Amino acid sequence: MSNRGSRLLWLGTCLTFALLYAPIAVTVLFSFNAPRGRFNLIWQGFTLDNWMHPLRDAALSQAFLASLSIAVAAALIATLLGGLMALALGRFRPRGHGWVEALLVLPLTNPEIVLAASLLNLFASVGLQRGALTLLLSHSLFCLSYAALTVKARLAGLDRRLEEAAQDLGARPLQAFRRVTLPLLAPGLLAAALLSFSLSFDDFVVSSFTAGDLVTLPLYIAGAFQREIAPQIQVLSTLVLLVSAALLALGLRGEQS
């Protein structure tokens, strides 16, 4: 490739990343804004007061904690069940595994509104009142496919001979899995958990159908556009971003080591 082509390719890459991370940069920037009205949409001046009182709004704090707890629980459930499904499909390959994999991908191709309406009908038909339990079940369900496919991709790149060598040296199958396979799968499990957490934390469509009286952060923000957009929204979003970035950095460091 010529020098001109290389420069154009590099310029296009930089512009793509700039467009990708521009909303994140704006969110972080406006967490330090000092708005003069109720809507934190126009830059007025720099302040650290927002960060000194991130939980000033009680309703916002409750919505944030609700989203955080549901997202963590859904990520753990989806990663656990998805990891087991990935191991079953990747290692044992049962009869009809092709159909199982197709069914695993099918939820990813369905519009989210269809899944939300179906879950609402399901919970109503069994008489399950909408709330934290139905929201957790819903989030765990639509995160399951993402987690299973993420772990399955990681599992496909592992050398199974390492686990077999451990068994040849006297380790029992469970010991070989715990000491060899599981550490090698850890980056994939972490990626699946982070992806599931992000999907659950910012979900709006499914939550609006299955949350009932429980208000999550996306539901709160959607309603806040009619009355107030506090800078604490950007503060809490930035905190989640920093924690996710730190966990991702730890996962990449563990994979390289």
Per-residue pLDDT for 79 more than 90?
Answer: yes
What's the confidence (pLDDT) of residue 16? 92
Contact 61, 182 (CB under 8 A): no
pTM for the whole structure: 0.81
- Taking the C-alpha atoms of residue 130 and residue 128, their distance in angstroms, rounded to an integer, is 6
57-229: CATH architecture: Orthogonal Bundle (1.10)
- Taking the C-alpha atoms of residue 144 and residue 137, their distance in angstroms, rounded to an integer, is 11
Can you tell me whether residue 149 is helix, strand or coil?
Answer: helix
Can you tell me whether residue 169 is helix, strand or coil?
Answer: coil
Give, to the nearest 10 degrees, the angle between helix 182-201 and helix 232-256: 160
Can you tell me whether residue 135 is helix, strand or coil?
Answer: helix
203 phi-psi bin (left φ>0, alpha ψ -120 to 50, beta other)? beta
pLDDT category at 5 given cuts 50, 70, 90 is: confident
State which amino acid sits at residue 96: G
Nearest one of 15, 16, 51 to 30, comparing CA atoms: 51
Contact 236, 54 (CB under 8 A): yes
pLDDT digits (tens, 9 = 90+) for 203-223: 999 999 999 889 998 898 888
Strands (E), 37-95: none
Q: Fill in the DSSP letter of residue 44.
A: -
Write the CB contacts of 130 (distance below 8 Å, at least 6 apart in sequence). 120, 123, 210, 211, 212, 213
- Taking the C-alpha atoms of residue 202 and residue 79, their distance in angstroms, rounded to an integer, is 18
For 65-75, what is the mean pLDDT?
Answer: 94
Length of the chain, in residues: 257
- Taking the C-alpha atoms of residue 229 and residue 41, their distance in angstroms, rounded to an integer, is 8
Can you tell me whether residue 46 is helix, strand or coil?
Answer: strand
pLDDT digits (tens, 9 = 90+) for 90-132: 777 667 667 777 788 888 888 889 989 999 999 999 989 999 9
Nearest one of 136, 118, 129 to 203, comparing CA atoms: 136
